[in-house]
Structure 1
C-alpha cells in the first residue's frame, strides 16, 4: 500500500509536538498559545503586503509613496489566554487589517458565546461543561458570573434609555419568577411593557420586578416611562392587572385601557364543562365579532339566557362587558390589534423558557437574563419583521377616531 502523504495540518502539528513535547493538556494548550502569536503576525504581514502592493524587501512600485513603518504592540485575548503580537504599520496610516481590526483586543469570542448561552437559559454548570467540551479548557462559575455581570451597565442604560414621546399601543403582561431567599423560594412578579410606535414598529419599553401589584406600583412605572420621554399613549391592552387602570389614568389621562378578550374567555371557560366548551366559545365569538355594538348587546342578552346555568361564566362577561362594547368604537383592523395581549404573551412565553430552569439569587440575575433574551428576540425573531402586519390599514382607521387623529397629527414628525 502506498504511504499516505501527511496533510499540511498534520505536518504543523508534528512540528509543534516535536518542538514542545507536551505531556499534559495544560502543556498542549501552552504550546498552542505560543504558536498563536506568530500565526497572527504572519497573517497581518500578508495583509500589509497586499495593501502596499509589494512584499517586504521587494521593490517599491513607482506609483506608490507608502512604505512599512515598523510595528505596534497589542495584547490579544484568545481562548488560550493573552497573547502579545506585533502589528505591522504603514507610513501613511491607511492600512486597515481585517483579520484583527485596529481596536480589536479579543479574538476568543468566548464572552459572546457565554452571553448567548446564558441568554438561552443555560445554567452556569451547563455553560462551563459546554465550553470545556467544545474548546477543551474549563471556565469557572465565577468567570461566567463575571462575564455576565459586565453587561449590567448596558442593562441599566437600556432600562433607563429615552423613549419615544408617543406610542399608539402598549401591551402589558406579567410573569412570575422564582427567587431565592434565606428561608425558602418565593415568586416575584416581572412586568413587561411592549409598545407599538406611530410607524407600527415594536419595542420593549422595559422590565420591572416587584413583589406587589396595585395602583401605586403602576403609578410609579407609568411615572418612570413619562420621565423617560413618553407624553401620550393611545391604547393599553392588559389582562386585568390590579391597579393598572387607575395608575394609567393618573399619569396619562385619556388613555383607553382595554381588557384582553382572550383572557376573559379563559377566565369564563373555568366554569364550563368540557363537553359544552366548543358551543360556548362559538357563541362568545359571535358576540365580540358582531357587526356593531347593538348586535353585540342583543347577542349577549340571548347568550346570558342560554347559559344561565353557569353564573360564574356569565359574571366574567357582565363585569367586563364595557370592554367588549369599547371595541366597537374602532374599525375592525384596530380591534384586531387591541382586543388581545397575544403579542406580549408571546414575549413572556419566550422569557419563561429561560426562567423555568431554576431560581434566581437577586433581581440583577433576572434582569441580565431577560435583557439578553430581548436582544435575541430583536436579532432573530423580530429581525426584518418588527413591524405590525397591515399597519397602514390600522393607521387609516385610527385617523377616524377624533382623539387618535389629534395625537397622530401632534406627532406626525415621528413618521
Structure 2
C-alpha cells in the first residue's frame, strides 16, 4: 500500500506541480479519476484531523484529564472530488469526536447527495448516475446507496401531495401522461394524472400527480377531484379537459358549478382522424371558422356551413361537434383575454413535454415509485419553465370579478 504523504510533502514535491499542470493541459478537467486534487484534499483532511485532536488533547490536559493519542482508524470517505482514504486519530479514553468527518460519517460534504438528485432528475437511471459519478468525480457509489439517496425525497413528495390547497381556482387543467412500469414481472401502461392550475393571483402550480395503473379512466379522474376537495378546494371556475368519455359527469359530481371546457385541439385531432389527405387542408380551414368565431351564434353558422360542404362525406365530424358543442364552445362566454387560456389543454401538455424530454431515454421504469420520484424531481428542477405567472392576468381578474362576482372568495 502506498504511504500517504503529508500536505507539506505534497506541496514541496515538484512532481505534484507537474501533475497539476499535466491534468490541466490534458483537458480532463480538475476532478475525476487519478486527479492530483484528490490526493491534495486527502492531505488537507488528514492535517485538519490531526490539528483537531491536538486541540482536543490540549483542552483535556488543561482540565486535568490524563489523555493521549491512541493511533488512527482508516476508512473510505466519499467526496465530490473523489474517494478519500482518511485516517481518523483516536484518543485513549475514546472521548474525541472529530468535527470535520464524524466517526460514523462516510461523506465529506452533503453536496454529493444534491448532485445525485440532480442527475436523477435529468432522467438518468440509477445505473447511469452510478457510472456518471465514477466518470466525472472518480467516486464509486453502489446502486443501492444511490437508490437510498433518491428515496430521501419520498417524505417530501408525500408532504407535497397532501398539502392544503386554496379554496378557489379560476382555471384548472386536467390531463394524463402515460409510461411503461414493471409490475408482477411484466410491463404495463401506467397513467400519471396531472392537475395544473392558475390561482386567483395568476400563479401557476401543479396541484398533484396521481398514479393509476392500467390506463386513464373517467371514474379515476373523479377520485382525483375528490382528493382536491378533501385538500381544501371548494370551487373551480373553469376545468379544461380532453374529450375522455364521461369525464364531465365525474367532475361535476364533485364541483357542480364548474364550467367544463373541452379542448379544441383534441377535438380537431379526433375530427381529422379519418379525413382523406387531399381534403385535410380544406377541412381544417372550415373547422377553424367554427372555433375562431367571436360569438356562439357565429360559431353555429360556421358549423352549419361546414355541414353543407362536408356533412355527407364526413358525417361523423358534424355529429362529434354537435354532441360536444356546449363544452367545446364554453370559452366563448368569456372575454377574449381569457379565451386564449382555456380553449385548449396546451398549458398542461407543455408541462408533460418537459417530463418527456427529461425521461425520453428510458423505455420503462422498475416501479411506480421510481417513476414518481423522477417526475417530481424533474418538474421541481424546471420550475422556471412552467411556474410563470399567467400573462395579462390583472385584466382577466377584472373580467371574472364582473361576470362571476359571487364566485370570488373574500379570503382565499
**Normalising TM by the smaller chain, what interval?**
0.7 to 0.9
Q: Out of 180, 183, 186, which is 1:181 matched to?
A: 183
Question: How far has the Cα of 1:304 moved from its partner?
Answer: 1.1
Q: Does 1:364 align with 2:369?
A: yes
Matches within 5 A, 1:39-188: 78-79=79-80, 80=83, 107=109, 109-188=111-190
Secondary structure of 2:385's match?
Answer: coil
Secondary structure of 2:402's match?
Answer: coil
Q: Determine if contact 2:79/2:109 at 8 Å carries over to the other structure.
A: yes
Question: How far has the Cα of 1:320 moved from its partner?
Answer: 1.4
Q: Does 1:191 align with 2:199?
A: no
Secondary structure of 1:386's match?
Answer: coil
* CA pair 118-78 structure 1, distance change in 2 beyond 3 A: same
Q: Give a deviation string over 1:368-413, Cα, whole Å, max 9, x none.
A: 01110120121x324xx61011112222222232xx32122x24x3
Structure 2 residues not aligned, in runs of 5+: 1-7, 18-32, 53-76, 90-106
Secondary structure of 1:195's match?
Answer: strand
- Which residue in 2 is equivalent to 1:347? 351
Q: Determine if contact 2:124/2:359 at 8 Å carries over to the other structure.
A: no
Question: How far has the Cα of 1:148 moved from its partner?
Answer: 0.6
* CA pair 16-344 structure 1, distance change in 2 beyond 3 A: same
Q: Determine if contact 1:271/1:312 at 8 Å carries over to the other structure.
A: no
Q: Does 1:377 align with 2:369?
A: no
Secondary structure of 2:124's match?
Answer: coil
After TM superposition, the score normalised by the length of structure 1 is 0.75
Q: Tell me the matched-pair count.
A: 345
Question: How far has the Cα of 1:221 moved from its partner?
Answer: 1.4
Q: Out of 297, 300, 319, which is 1:297 matched to?
A: 300
Q: Determine if contact 1:167/1:197 at 8 Å carries over to the other structure.
A: yes
Q: Hey, what's the Cα distance between the residues in 2 that align with 1:27 and 1:172?
A: 50
Q: Determine if contact 1:33/1:83 at 8 Å carries over to the other structure.
A: no
Q: Determine if contact 1:177/1:355 at 8 Å carries over to the other structure.
A: no
Q: Determine if contact 2:259/2:330 at 8 Å carries over to the other structure.
A: no
After TM superposition, the score normalised by the length of structure 2 is 0.75
Question: How far has the Cα of 1:40 moved from its partner?
Answer: 6.9
Secondary structure of 1:206's match?
Answer: strand
Structure 1 residues not aligned, in runs of 5+: 1-7, 18-24, 45-75, 87-104
Q: Hey, what's the Cα distance between the residues in 2 that align with 1:232 and 1:197?
A: 11
Question: How far has the Cα of 1:355 moved from its partner?
Answer: 3.8
Q: Give a deviation string over 1:127-167, Cα, whole Å, max 9, x none.
A: 12211111112222112111111111111111111111111
* CA pair 78-355 structure 1, distance change in 2 beyond 3 A: closer
Q: Out of 312, 317, 321, which is 1:313 matched to?
A: 317
Q: Give a deviation string over 1:24-79, Cα, whole Å, max 9, x none.
A: x799898445324267789x9xxxxxxxxxxxxxxxxxxxxxxxxxxxxxxx9733
Question: How far has the Cα of 1:240 moved from its partner?
Answer: 1.8
* CA pair 173-84 structure 1, distance change in 2 beyond 3 A: farther
* CA pair 394-15 structure 1, distance change in 2 beyond 3 A: same
Q: Does 1:35 align with 2:43?
A: yes
Q: Does 1:248 align with 2:251?
A: yes
Q: Determine if contact 1:132/1:138 at 8 Å carries over to the other structure.
A: yes
Q: Does 1:391 align with 2:396?
A: no
Secondary structure of 1:381's match?
Answer: helix
Secondary structure of 1:400's match?
Answer: helix
* CA pair 114-269 structure 1, distance change in 2 beyond 3 A: same
* CA pair 281-9 structure 1, distance change in 2 beyond 3 A: farther
Q: Hey, what's the Cα distance between the residues in 1 that align with 2:211 and 2:372?
A: 8
Q: Determine if contact 1:237/1:340 at 8 Å carries over to the other structure.
A: yes
Q: Hey, what's the Cα distance between the residues in 2 that align with 1:213 and 1:182?
A: 20
Secondary structure of 2:287's match?
Answer: helix
* CA pair 26-392 structure 1, distance change in 2 beyond 3 A: closer
Q: Determine if contact 1:176/1:189 at 8 Å carries over to the other structure.
A: yes
Q: Does 1:274 align with 2:282?
A: no
